[in-house]
Structure 1
Amino acid sequence: MASESGISPPPLHPLVQPLAFLLGTWRGEGEGGFPTIQAFNYGEQIQLSHWGKPVIGYTQKTWKASSGEPMHAESGYWRPKPDGSIEVIIAQSTCLAEVQKGTFDEQSKTVSLKSAMIGNATKVNEIWRNFEVSNDELMYTVSMATSSHALQPHLRATLKKL
């Protein structure tokens, strides 16, 4: 199938194939909070794409649910490995960079990530991300630890595939 540009997308790389359930554009709503901030609701769009290489491109942006005002953005790359593990690098608009390692399961359509390294100007020490796809919904949770707070829930959202 040709894209709008008339160019057919390349075939999936064999290492990306088990994560094909993630590919596409997802849009929906989420909620967040942490002891140091007031709870909030947000809209979100995530895009996971490929170009025939053994890596998935990742972009995300959020906006205030009440006003549409931009909030947060991040982008990076997800690199699946033949043993079912995955390495992820994400750069956030807050100048926080995450290197995460985890696992994926094609049958249960899940990805679990835990920070291996975080570089930032804030005091974030650890981030865990869990993704699950069921039907045409992508659900995720993000837990975070800072220098003054233990690992705890920070974000959760449900997005529908566009």
Structure 2
Amino acid sequence: MDSGDSASDAIQAAEQRAESTRDRNVPQFDDLPIPVDSANLRQGPNLNDACLALLPLVGVWRGEGEINYSTMEKPVKFAQQLTIAHDGRPFLFHEARAWLLDDEGKVIRPAAREVGWWRPQPDDTIELLLAHATGVLEIFYGKPLNQTSWQLGTDAVVRTATAKEVTGAQRLYGLINNGDLGYVEERAMVGQPMQPHASAHLRRVAG
């Protein structure tokens, strides 16, 4: 099989995966006098050229993962929705909401929330600013590893007086099985060295 056939097969597979998501977007009011956020590249403003290296991330993603750390008695399951959207300008909006699950997959309670911005730069550097509901603010820097994976690490961490001690974090995002999105996160916190903390496997539900 030559590269042309491989590319054609990949495009066809992507179109098949999008059959149930291509008409879905971020629910929102549509009467703003400025462009609204879009997590669907088929709708809304055109993606800014500066964000092309992040294009595969745009969408609404849902799935499950696991939290673990050396200070925990055992791993904990969670589910998450991740929205990565744009309004035509040279940055992406990021919002993640999680909820804890029991061993049978039933919802226990809401969990972590974070919002922020992906800011790609002309030299391929990526700035990721995240604010967590727990009182922690993080500035990540990183670069694409290839066309479908992105690695970032914190340059600065700021926290409120009541927040848990966090001194650093690293994240790796990448497209995996059939276009799904996976990520792994390491954290240094509560006096512990950098170590694995969370991972998740998310499937596209919009875009």
Q: TM-score higher than 0.5 here?
A: yes
Report percent identity of matched pairs.
28
The answer on 1:132 being equivalent to 2:174 is yes
Q: Counterpart amino acid of 2:167? A: N
Which residue is 2:44 aligned to?
A: 9
Bigger Rg, structure 1 or 2: 2
Structure 1 segments (4+ residues) deviating >3 Å: 1-8
- The structure with the largest strand share of the pair is 1
The answer on 1:43 being equivalent to 2:85 is no
Q: Which runs of 5+ in 2 are unaligned?
A: 1-21, 37-42
Q: Following superposition of structure 1 onto structure 2, how do residues 6-155 of structure 1 map, counting pairs within 5 Å? A: 8-38=43-73, 39-66=75-102, 67-68=106-107, 69-107=109-147, 109-120=148-159, 121-134=163-176, 135-146=178-189, 148-155=191-198
Q: Which runs of 5+ in 1 are unaligned?
A: none
Matched-pair contact (CA < 8 Å) for 1:19–1:106: no
Which residue is 1:156 aligned to?
A: 199
Q: What is the number of residues matched between the two proteins?
A: 161
Matched-pair contact (CA < 8 Å) for 1:139–1:157: yes
- The structure with the largest helix share of the pair is 2
Matched-pair contact (CA < 8 Å) for 1:28–1:44: yes
Matched-pair contact (CA < 8 Å) for 1:25–1:161: yes
Matched-pair contact (CA < 8 Å) for 1:29–1:42: yes
What CA distance in whole angstroms lies between the structure 2 residues aligned with 1:21 and 1:96? Answer: 27
TM-score (normalizing by structure 1): 0.91
